[in-house]
Amino acid sequence: MRILVVEDEQRIADFVQRGLESAGYTVDVAEDGTKALERIHDSDYELMVLDLMLPDMDGLTVLEKTRARQASPPVLILSARGGVDDRVKGLEHGADDYLVKPFAFVELLARVRALLRRGQATPEKLVVGDLTLDCIRRKVTRGGDVIDLAPKEFSILEYLMRNRGRALSRTMIVEHVWEMEYDGLTNIVDVYIRHLRSKIDDRYPVKLIHTVRGIGYMLEGSERPVEQPIPA
């Protein structure tokens, strides 16, 4: 699962990122509100951890703009503003939870897990360009066409869409979809990617699945530079 941490204080951002990654989550960090909104616009996140005191805009403004989107992730506010009025204001602006600094990481992790469990019960659609994946109905459409996918094809596509714009290694795909270690001797990922391309790319002018030489695969609907790959 992918989490966005919006925190301008490097020490805290690193602390939260390391802890959440150690717990098995994929974590991106945005240092200000502008970068946070760009990431929310470009990628799908299961959760946002949001500081209120950001250098370019108030965290509540980021929260309001995030909530204005058709689909937005649960938001956990992480702030030194610990007064009752501050907490109430954050929740009334649309936050799902509020944790006051300083905090124990074990409590942060417990709150993150609780919000993610709550979010899993919410209908969710992933959209990249004209490709839509309905995670609840397990339905895929592109340009209005319904596309029939095998279970593993669906899981791979969902993983690619949740990590839109990021190069994913074959190791990462195997470990996430098949839940086993990748020995490098099988071409199972390449075979399934070929099947996926034949269904969602071949008949359409804009190609969504891209090969990233020396790394693996990436799903992206626009001509954008490849971000740094996530370490395998």
In the chain, the percentage of residues whose pLDDT exceeds 70 is: 92
Round to whole Å and give the CA distance between 78 and 82.
10
**Cβ neighbours, 10 Å, residue 220:** 21
How many whole angstroms separate alpha carbon 120 and alpha carbon 101? 27
Enclosing H/E stretch for 99 = strand 97-100
Domains of the chain: 2-120 (3.40.50.2300), 125-219 (1.10.10.10)
| pTM, full prediction | 0.54
User: For residue 119, what pLDDT is reported?
Assistant: 61
Element (H, E) at 82: none
Judge whether residue 182 has pLDDT over 80: no
Q: What is the predicted pLDDT for the residue at 135?
A: 83
139-142 β-sheet, strand order:
125-128, 131-134, 139-142, 145-147
pLDDT tens by residue, 157-167: 999 998 888 89
Strand partners, 131: 128, 142
pLDDT at 226 over 80: no
Nearest Cα to Cα of residue 170 among 160, 182, 157: 182
In this predicted model, what pLDDT tens digit does every residue of 186-216 receive, in sequence order? 899 999 999 999 999 999 999 999 999 989 9
Question: What per-residue confidence (pLDDT) applies to 107?
Answer: 92
